Every structure is written in C-alpha cells, then in structure tokens.
Structure 1
Amino acid sequence: MALEEYAGAIVLEWDGQEIDVVDFSVTSRTGTKPVKTMNRSRRVKGFARGIEEHELSVTVVVPLTGDKDWLTLEGAKLTSYPASAGGKRESYLDCYATEVSDKYSVENEARRDIRIFAARKVSE
C-alpha cells in the first residue's frame, strides 16, 4: 500500500506577487441561520439561506525594507496553492484588510497579523 501525499506548506500571492507567510487560516461561513418558531415541540422548524462570508487570517514576517502597507489592501486578489507540485489553487477575490496588528517577542522575529475580509472564493 503506497503512502498518500497530503498538502503541506502553501504559497500566498497578493495580486500575483508572492508573500512570505508564517501562518494562514481561512474561516468560511455559509450565512445559513435556523428559523425558530413558537410551537409545542420547541424545536427549530427550518432554516434560511444567508450570505456567504470568508475571513482570512494571515501572519507575515516584518522585513526591514520593502514592507507592504497592509492597511491599503483593498479590492485585492489573494491566491493560495500548495508549495509542492499538484494541488488546487484557491483565490479570494475583493479582499479588504479589516485589522492589522504587530507582534514582537524575545525568541521570534517581528510578525504582523492581518485580518482580511473576502467577498468570494474561487477554486481554480
């Protein structure tokens, strides 16, 4: 039985330019909500479809020169794909930075945490 290969590290691009990422996570919400009604069974009777949302959390290292101004991230396209050959690309379109924070510690390099809102996700 052959071993199966899994996705490992990813490459992240901002409008085609590669970004050095330490950590990357995506939270997608369907927007679906339960519809509660007053009835004897005291249970949810159904659901209502909502608006899909995507929130990205990116941690990058802070370079001494050539740092990106993450607060200006507006209407951008962020694409992630496996660093090794194969695998699918996922693009997040119409991205906007909602929060940027810096973090410094004794043991690690300076890092920047960025929260990003994406209007839609496309698998390529």
Structure 2
Amino acid sequence: MALKEYLGAIVLEVDGQEYEVESVDISHKSGRKLVKTMNRTGRASGYSEGVHEFSLRVTAPVPKEGAPDWDNIVGAKLTIYPVSAGGRRESYLDCVSMEDSRKYSVDNEAKVDVTLAALDRIEE
C-alpha cells in the first residue's frame, strides 16, 4: 500500500490579510427537504432542492494589536489553503459575522470564537 499525504495546517485570509487561527469548523447544509405526501406506502415521495447554507466557526488567539474587528465583518472573502504546495484553496465569498464570543482562562491565551455565514463556496 502506497504512503498517502494528507492536508495539514491551514492559513486563513480575510480580504487578503493573513490571520493566525487555531481552528476552523465548516458546516454546509444542502437545503434539501423531504416531500411528504399522504400515500399508501406511508413514506416520503421524494425531495426538493433548497438553499445552500455555509457556516464557519473560527477560533483565533487575540493579538495585542492588529486584530480584525471580528463582530463587524461584512462582505469578506475567507480563503483556506494548505501550507504545503499542491493543495487546492477553498474560498468562502461574501462572509458576514453572525456571532462572536471571547474566551479567557488562567493557563491559555485570550481567544475569540466567531461564527460567519457565507453566501458561496468555490475551489480555486
């Protein structure tokens, strides 16, 4: 069996500016819904297409200076790409911040969790 290489660390860009992040969790909802009808089988008849939803949860350390205004992000482009060469970039377009929260603890650095909604996803 051949040795496989997997994607490792990522770099996060918001509108061309690179930011240090600890993690990015991406959620995609297809928007599909079951079409339920009254029939003899007692099962759904099929499905209907809906609106795709992209949600990104970003965790980042809070720098002393130069931190983005996470709670006022509107129309941003978030690009995620692997550090090593050869990987494909993912871009999330027209991102808006929906929610943000700060975390402080005795043993760790201050962090911010930001939930973003994106209108589209493309691979570059």
* 1:70 matched residue in structure 2: 70
- Partner Cα distance (2:24, 2:73) in 1: 16
- Describe the SS at the equivalent of 1:71: helix
1:39-118 alignment runs, 5 A limit? 39-118=39-118
- Partner Cα distance (1:53, 1:29) in 2: 5
How big is the shift at 1:73? 0.5
How big is the shift at 1:2? 3.6
* 1:33 matched residue in structure 2: 33
Q: Which runs of 5+ in 1 are unaligned?
A: none
Q: How many residues align?
A: 124
- After TM superposition, which residue ranges in structure 1, 4 or more long, deviate above 6 angstroms? none
* 1:66-105 per-position Cα deviation (integer Å, ceiling 9, x unaligned): 1111112100100000011111000000000000100111
Q: Which runs of 5+ in 2 are unaligned?
A: none
Q: TM-score, normalised by structure 2?
A: 0.96
**Larger displacement relative to structure 2 (69-78 or 111-120):** 69-78
- Partner Cα distance (2:64, 2:15) in 1: 22
Query: Do residues 10 (structure 1) and 10 (structure 2) align?
Result: yes
Question: In the alignment, residue 5 of structure 2 is paired with which amino acid?
Answer: E
- Partner Cα distance (1:115, 1:66) in 2: 20
Identity %: 53
